[in-house]
Structure 1
């Protein structure tokens, strides 16, 4: 019991100050998705706490992903007018983004010769963590591996996003937001807000719809994995 309390308090004690730090200085290396896990890993190593023990003691934190996923309905309702106005673009962007994400992951896994469980965990890397961890096992993957791939995908998306968009014809803020939301999920929405509130909203919607579509297609993705 004492170790479980320590693990939970340590996680919260690292996350909330990190969140404040990132709000004050929004730099990539201060992002809580990157810095908090790194600091937590260092703490576990220094305290000689096995990862399996930490995961067992903090398993209820993963339960919170369920309500977080349901909470995605809020921005959909709040921006329903924007959805009605741009439904065709949202639909096309979601289908194209999910197709490209799953297809490229499958090809990457095949080219690298990744073992089955690792390859399957990679397939849903381009959606936000609540969705990805929720369906990881349904596509034959492992939740913790999928979570790692999700973070790496988000970081890669915001690091290379501006370079890729600079090579394309001039796009509106909404198009930029859609690109970040579909390719880099939560981190992409943060980056998209640099182009204005409409871009951030569009990124959020693409992130949510991509997660929903990938969840619905989980049985088909599992068939692809086999």
Structure 2
């Protein structure tokens, strides 16, 4: 357990994390971040493979009103806007060390996105965010139902009613989207992207890509690489 004199945001990029801040415990994932106020005792423990974005800010840069508000909440919902900002900052920092100027511009945007209180996402939206953050996880129907807090039969009914698709169809769509993003924006090998997205091997990914797009992963990368 430790503490510090600055403000800290703990923002999951991939995976999940158990954290306790000022005696309040909770789990962080793609839909939930944590705010650590100056002087607050906190301890955390990783759960499986995960990657976090930790943002340290001076009290003056955040503002007393925002610090007081987030201190009361501790656990902050991650809106779609905030999620895109987190992914942008994480990707930028992995490509090359982020400059102080870029960090200075991104931090206020992150704070504003986290302080914004959009309509609470549905169970399915929360589940989709978790899958997007960790597509390689063993997302069986039972695992998805447990993450959504419903039974397997109820999950199936919710997917059909809200999305017009089965859980398996949505999972395939999200995994393919993760692979397509990787093919278009990264230099990772096709085998590596297949593994990260939860495919058993490159052949399984190739068959899924052909069914969905009519292209092999290599052909997709050649056509859409940015």
TM-score of the two chains, using structure 2 as the length reference? 0.25
Q: Which has the higher strand share?
A: 2
TM-score of the two chains, using structure 1 as the length reference? 0.25
Structure possessing the higher relative contact order (Cα contacts under 8 Å, 6 or more residues apart): 1
**Greater C-alpha radius of gyration:** 2
